[in-house]
Amino acid sequence: MRAARLALTACFLAAAAGCSDTHVLSGAFGTGEDAPLTLPGANGLERQHMELVLGHYGPDVAGLAWFCQEGACAARTCSHIEFGSWSDGNLRFVFTPPNGCEATVSGTCAVSGTLTLEGDSVLRGTLSLAGGEPVQVTLKRTKYEGELVRDDVECPARETSQ
């Protein structure tokens, strides 16, 4: 009986230790007010503040990329993160800019990102439009998973012209 309790306790401790890295990115990370971002070739992404709202599930990462113009963050746009993955301390992901792209060399309208987690509060790396030059970006944690609210995790549907 004692051996069974010890084995069960060991399993819980191992599971708890293993979970720490599987949700480390869950929450929100943003550029901050003093560091607007410009992604050349992505329509409407000039001098924008960016925030990634992430859900981290083992090797998979899902979420939203939010953008707002300096001083006008009440009106923000978003895109769904596609193909998000976490491996060896690096977040890799793709998203389509909310307002599309100018003509690209590759013909693909997608932004790819590779960011490295520093501590538990900073993501640093590059974003680049397909075929474009990489842009350096630093995102600082703005919220932990438990602090996210409904408006953080729901991307409103965009109107499309026919």
For residue 156, being part of any structural domain is answered with: no
Reply yes or no on whether the pLDDT at 6 is more than 50: no
At residue 19, the pLDDT reads: 41
- Local structure of residue 19 (DSSP, 8 states): H
CA 129/CA 134 separation, integer angstroms: 8
Is residue 25 within 8 A of residue 41, CB to CB? The reply is no
Specify if 53 maps to a domain.
yes
Per cent of the chain over pLDDT 70 is 78
Query: What is the domain extent for residue 137?
Result: 23-145
Residue 93 belongs to a domain: yes
CATH label of the domain that carries residue 123? 2.40.128.120
Tens-place pLDDT, residues 71-101:
667 778 899 999 999 999 999 999 998 888 8
Alpha carbon distances (Å) from 5 to 30, 37, 53, 86, 99:
44, 54, 39, 34, 57
Does residue 150 sit within a domain? no
Residue 22 φ/ψ, nearest 5 degrees: -85, -10
16 within domain boundaries: no
Asked, for residue 137, whether it belongs to a domain, the answer is yes
pLDDT at 18: 38
| Per-residue CA distances from 142 to 21, 27, 37, 59, 139 (Å) | 19, 8, 17, 22, 9
Does residue 58 belong to any structural domain of this protein? yes
How many residues belong to the chain? 162
Please check whether residue 2 lies inside any domain of the structure: no
Check if the beta carbon of residue 120 is closer than 8 Å to that of residue 7: no
pLDDT in tens, 52-72: 999 999 999 999 999 988 666
Domain count, the chain: 1
Q: Residue 143: is it exposed, middle or buried by C-beta count within 10 angstroms (0-12/13-18/19+)?
A: middle
